[in-house]
A and B are shown apart, each in its own frame.
Chain A
Amino acid sequence: MKTYLFILIGSICLLLSISCNKSFGPLNIDPNSVNSKIVQYEKVFSQVELTASGNSDGYTYEDERSNLAYCSLLIQHFSSTFYPGDKYSYNDEFITAFWSRQFTNPMKNNVDLVINLKNNPAEKNLYNIGRIFKAFLFQRMTDLYGDIPYSQAGLGYSQLIKFPEYDKQQSIYADLLNELDDAASKLDVAAANTLNAQDIIFGGDVSKWKKFAYSEMARLAMRMTKVDPVNAQKWIAKAYTGGAMTLNSDNAIVNHIASPGVSPVNNGSGYVLITQDNQNFKMSKTFIDFFKNHNDPRLRYYATVTVNQAGLYGTADFDLGDTTAVNQQGMPNGLDPLGGLVPVNTDPAYPGNILLYSIPNRYLFAKADAPTFFLTAAETQFYFAEAAERGWLSGGATASIFYQLGLELSFSQLIQTGADWSNATAVASADAYLTQNPYNSASGIQQINEQYWVTVFMDEYEAFANWRRTGFPTLIAINYPSMAVNKTGGTIPRRFTYPKTEVSINNTNYSAASALLSGGDKLTSRMWWDKL
């Protein structure tokens, strides 16, 4: 009996020893991750910059859906028999793509970075660069949707705000401008470069970030021309004196690496184009005709015609196409495939085969390693040109000088995308173009913004925003005959509607925001700066 008792007691002791040990130690710390105390925010900032280019998941998500399938077609850089932006139809996933991916990738990480570096003097420059880049990210978002969450955005973890309130675009603009002003003034050019190559845009060059801040300020300022000319004038002047971008080497560019197959280092839009262009994206007739009507030597860098459809990307047969200017033909917007309601052969100039329409140039733009431009010197000079034309830049150059500078930058900027002309040739070509198409102050604003439209090709968000503000270029509104498709009654959309997820999830704040839109949450409603 003693033995039994011994075994029994022994067993119970053993039992207790394995079960009541509540200390699991550091078991629940993920060995494959790092925490906020040891993370290096320089590396987080690289991620912010890269994903801001629109391929945050590696599967070209928002590049395909928002940049190309909507903006590029609305703005008639491209035409498509397939994608919804061509005929103003509604696709929630596509309309939502930019919102859902940018908020949850670069913006989230950027907001977190700014919060965590605020009181870290050693990271003062990164903190202020973070603020500047954050301003750029929110500018793109508000310009697409209107009033958006801003002051409460990205705070899901740090402040547990799951359902952020929407800020009015007017107040967002006011704050973004102040942020840019303040952050730019606090950048310390003399401080050691802690970013270096980890800053994939400027290599940690603080002086370039300063220029970026003032160019971004110019963009915001000019966006307000219709609605708040007083402030527009004030801020464009400040941007000018602050020192904005003047050279193509100042351009904010993310360089991509062609990675076969899906990868976040690809240029998402470029990747979509090479894999889909001779099917789904054609150069719009509006765009090609603009080049042709002005005898623009840049046409061969923008368009190409491929007839070998079997030559797929990645194969030896891949056909870069014929870039001869005379062979380029744009496809009108608003057409269906053969067999559709408005089949493509209703184009009077139908070349007999859809493959004979021009597609985006495969040497420069339709490629996985085409660079992404966020903001450029050419754009900046066009802002200044318009401001000068409006008489807002006292003491600056004349509008025609800015225009010429912008044009030269626009031509030579193509070198950064792979154009095979020298800088001298590019500048000479720009000047020759100017001789053929001289600047005329009476139509100056139109000329400036048409050139802007050509320059920001592939940055379709920017092209769409600038067109809405200025009305240039003149686009051909498509009135597709099926109401099931055509959601605007033939009017070119003025904004992206809010995501359906906001309607169902963040309803209170969504309702408050959409109530402020005259006409409600529609594609045709106008946002604050887009005054009629």
Chain B
Amino acid sequence: MNKVYLFDIKCFQAIFLKAAILFSFLLAFAVFPVTGADMACNAVSFRTEAGRFVMNFNQSANPVQLKGRVTDVNGEPLPGAAVYIRGTQTGVATDISGGFSILVESGSILSVTYAGFEKKEIAVNNKTFLVIELKPVSSNLGEVVVTALGIKRQERSLGYSTTQIAGANLTESRTPNLATALSGQVAGVSVAGTGTGPNGSTRITIRGNTSLTAGKTPLYIIDGVPFETTNQGQSGQYGGQDSGDLLSTINPDDIESINVLKGVAASALYGYRGGNGVILITTKSGSTKKGIGIEINNNTTMSQVIDYRDYQYVYGQGSNGKKPTTVADILNTEYSSWGAPIDGSMVVNILGKQVPYSSHKDNYKNFYSTGVNSQSSVSLSGKNDNGSFRLGLSNANSKEIIPLSGSSQQGINFNSTYNLTSKLHLAFMANYVNELVKNRPSYSDAPGSLIATTNYLANTYDIRSLKQAVLPNGSEQLPGTDLYFDNPYFIAHYFKNTTERNRYTGNITLKYDLTNWMSIQGQVNRNSFTNDQSNITPTGTSWSPPGFLSVSSNTDREINASFLLDINKKLGKNFAIHANIGANHQDNTYKSAGTSGSVNIPGVYSVNNLLTFPYNIGFSESKVNSVYAATDLSFKNYLFLTLTGRNDWFSVLNPKSDSYFYPSVASSFVFSDAFKLPDWITFGKIRASYAQSSGAGDTNPYQLNLTYTNNQAIVYNGLLFTNINQSVVPNQLLKPLSISETELGLNMAFLNGRISIDAAVYNKLTKNDILNVTSSDASGYTGAIENVGKLRNRGLELLLSGYPVRTGSFSWKSALNFATNSSKVLYLSPGATNLQLGTPARWGTFSINQIVGKQYGQLVGYRYQRDKSGNKIFDDSGLPVRTNDLEPMGSGVYRVTGGFSNEFRYKNFNLSVLLDYKFGAKIYSVTNSVLYANGLSKQTLAGRVGGYIGKGVKADGTPNTTAVPSQVYFGAISGAGSATDDIAEEFVYDASFIKLRNISFGYTFNEAALKHTPFKSLTFSIVGRNLAILLKHTPNVDPESNLTSDTNQGVEYNAYPPIRNIGFNINVKF
């Protein structure tokens, strides 16, 4: 039995020692900032305030002049390749014919790099001439990729599109949520920017939305374990917090790579779960070298609010053009900037003091602070003849821009493989993460939204005058008379909410090699999490004076047990077969418990101190059994055919119709190998596929029968109250929706991989979508569950990548990805042309609807009524008239998405820049609507004196000449006060944008420079995220401010202020 490194005390001592050295090194740099550095072949010196650190590296004698040539596999010269002596700074670049000459010691090792090619290391061994052949890294040539169910296949054999992202792309400019880090990285993967801050949830859609109503997300698989990412609660029409999804519990430092299976053919082996695409995450495993390796990474950034507000500061607080003269006036006009011209004269404030009547543009700056985020991780990995392991530990803390709001996370990830015998292999993975988020803010409508107050407080109202927060009688110091317009300091300091998650993931696999071409494996995995939430509305809150507490806890657990038989055999000279047969048993359970109630003894927030606390208990269980098979036939390694099939049986469906079959067929043809092509074509492949699938989670348990439930919310004289459980008529014959997709693609590489193209077109059809077919309320039910909807997604994806410049010491790698998707609603239900998804915001007459023949998720509201020549029509009172009907005004889902990444390397410097862009969506900004009503929007400056005369005509066609006080006019458009004919058209903006998403600038000390340190490598980078917005059309708000991560895309309302992160990343390897 071999020694298990993990429990070796000496090993731990060594780690501890090295960590201590690193710490002191970093401390020294922190105390004595480096003021300069010199580097020579044999020494690095740092100048610091304290003096000079010099590190010398000895060089032995007997150098030899070595000559050579660097070529590609075809013998073509590679000019500009870098030839280095490993462990030193000494290096040269190859000339035009690929030749080089360098002075070396005979025992040295040469290291040759050339962008786009694999690095090669070669021992000099007393030679004087060497021909060094480099292999292109172009993934098209024989690279092995991980596909569905973890089956490894040659990339060239794939008849569908997949994209791989290296984990390194996610670590430097990191975000708490993995999904946001994917923004702009993969063609066809759209990450909806939700306006719910760093701890909020996200929405990823791959190739468009596949269901008309369900908020489907891709299936996440981490090391073979399906990973639940359900949103844990978000704000709605009446406000509330976004409790996030679980993607934040994945530590990017543990990620080796991410494979995005975009098309249905790629994910067909996941059966019913594969329809929305699959994100396969592979975590780092034990090192490839023998012995122990340690890696330490720290990422520290500061976050600051990007203030997009562009308010008017001409007229101040007040109403009707008058400035407030008494404290009562201040209270009555807390969010009304309809006062007198701002003149700096002395007026009273809320505290009764005389203050200048002048603008307070800095309310944001005065309220929000600088956030600090720090994440550290340490990993320990090792390998010996029989196995390998990696242990990753991480610790992250962040302090948000909102006072007393922040998060912390600790995680441990363990990955190991062990060969029990030469044929029996064991793999084990375990992961535990604890995450605690404190004081998530509320969005959307009041109550409890401090963001609302910072947005709408009158422009001459100093937010700092609210710092007292609590009045002597214990109640909230309100900014004014509106009970639902809270004091932001009161919310920040006294409202408390916590969400604590514990996630446990484990996977154990035993694989037995039956022959050298056949193996069988059994796997059991489990993923579960608990989510504990508590929410305190403190005693003294204006709209809930006694105080209120709610607590809840839910546990989600999935267990899978599976078998997989793998056959991989050459058949004769030209044919090969790779086949798999497997089966899976999936078991999900969900449990929840919670209670809430008003506080009895003021200020004591314990369940035992609630006046009444009925418990709500939730439970559901479901199972899916599956069998599947895949076969991959190849001919001469250039023509491939893959067939897969999977059958799923569902416990949640009627036993008479609970079995569904999901097939796929895919083919790939590497024509560059089959035919003789011009030299400049390095690689060429066409691919085609067809597959069927479904969407996970669209058939929930207990949807088939009508049931009754005892209503726990009613606490009434000890009686039990019972009512019909469903508001939607259940359906005995419910089945999963069906998704089918056809995909064609092309991969080409030119000029030795200097330019490559990956293109795909697809047509994806969703049928039998499960809709809640809205019925008349008079039926007693709001709808009926039926398999009716049809939806089509069509699109094009393009990835253009290459090396505009590639020399030995300098390279520029550039990749432009572009995707367009058209998502058209084909059919809803008999006679229905319109399906309302939701009214995510309370303000305004507005909803998001699916409309037959239109793009997915139309924003629907009133427009201006216009005459035939397009003039707005005004009524006798001078106010604009709205259309009679609610009208669609465009989709809230982007049609064009993509990114442009650039990576520059010069010697040891590295600069990467990522731009991302989205076009073709609309957004309804409720915030801007409220800014109209409150007189903060610049548009409301019109007509402040003498009234506003709307440009347009009266009903009789004559020009409108009636002046309306601008306060009334803009209030009416916005829907303020009692007017409910708000004109949503005014607040629907083009949501297109281009953002400078990430920049990272780094320096890597190479081994030579670190020779006399404990380090093998040291990389330091300066990183920045969300640095600039290069294009936007939404005044005052960020276009990426969706209120929710569900299907209701395209509504913004009091989003988390957009933030920019700047900081550094240090990576050290021992």
Measuring CB to CB, which residues of chain A are less than 8 angstroms from any residue of chain B? 4, 7-8, 11-12, 14-16, 18-24, 27-36, 39-40, 43-44, 46-47, 50-51, 58, 80-84, 86-87, 89-92, 99-100, 103-105, 107-109, 111-112, 148-149, 152-157, 160-164, 197-198, 200, 257, 259-261, 263-265, 275, 279, 309-310, 312-318, 336-341, 343, 353, 481-485, 499-502, 504-507, 509
Contacts and interface: CB of A to CB of B under 8 A. Distances in A.
Given A103-B777, A339-B336, A312 B710 contact: no
Contacts of A89: 978-981
A389 to B, nearest CB: 37
Interface stretch (B144-152, B613-621, B670-678, B739-747): B613-621
B552 to A, nearest CB: 15
B778 A103 contact: yes
16 contacts: A19-B585, A22-B659, A24-B649, A33-B708, A43-B722, A50-B714, A81-B977, A148-B778, A149-B776, A153-B780, A157-B724, A162-B776, A264-B713, A265-B716, A340-B977, A482-B972
B543 interface: yes
B597 A261 contact: yes
Interface string B524-562: 000000000000000010111110100000000000010
Nearest to B728: A156
A32 B618 contact: yes
A501 B776 contact: yes
Given A259-B612, A261-B546, A30 B702 contact: yes
A518 to B, nearest CB: 20
B623 interface: yes
B19 interface: no
B711 interface: yes
B897 to A, nearest CB: 32
B134 to A, nearest CB: 42
B780 A155 contact: yes
Contacts of A7: 512, 514, 520
Contacts of B980: 84, 89-92
A109 B724 contact: yes
Contact of A341 (B319, B475, B773, B877): B877
B867 interface: no
A156 B707 contact: no
A50 B722 CA distance: 11
A238 to B, nearest CB: 29
Given A4-B515, A8-B520, A33-B709, A50 B716 contact: yes
Given A50-B721, A89-B978, A341 B779 contact: no
Contacts of B653: 28
B777 A104 contact: yes
B701 interface: yes
Nearest 8 A/B pairs, CB to CB: A108-B780, A314-B545, A156-B779, A33-B707, A162-B775, A260-B598, A339-B319, A24-B651
Interface residues on B, range: 35 or more
Interface in B695-752: 701-702, 704-711, 713-717, 719-727, 729-730
A36 B708 contact: yes
A18 B702 contact: no
B722 A47 contact: yes
B464 to A, nearest CB: 21
A35 B708 contact: yes
A20 B625 contact: yes
B625 A44 contact: no
B332 A260 contact: no
B713 A11 contact: no
Contacts of A260: 544, 546, 598, 611
B118 interface: no
B725 A58 contact: no
A42 B664 CA distance: 55
B626 interface: yes
A46 B781 contact: no
B875 A157 contact: no
Contacts of B841: none
Contacts of A154: 778-780
Given A18-B583, A47-B722, A163 B545 contact: no
B834 interface: yes
B420 to A, nearest CB: 15
Contacts of B320: 338-339, 343
Contact of A108 (B781, B783, B784): B781
A104 B475 contact: no
Given A112-B724, A265-B714, A21 B625 contact: yes
A200 B719 contact: yes
Nearest to A258: B611
A27 B621 contact: yes
Given A58-B713, A261-B598, A103 B514 contact: no
Contact of B876 (A18, A343, A483, A509): A483
Given A24-B655, A309-B481, A198 B773 contact: no
Nearest to B955: A483
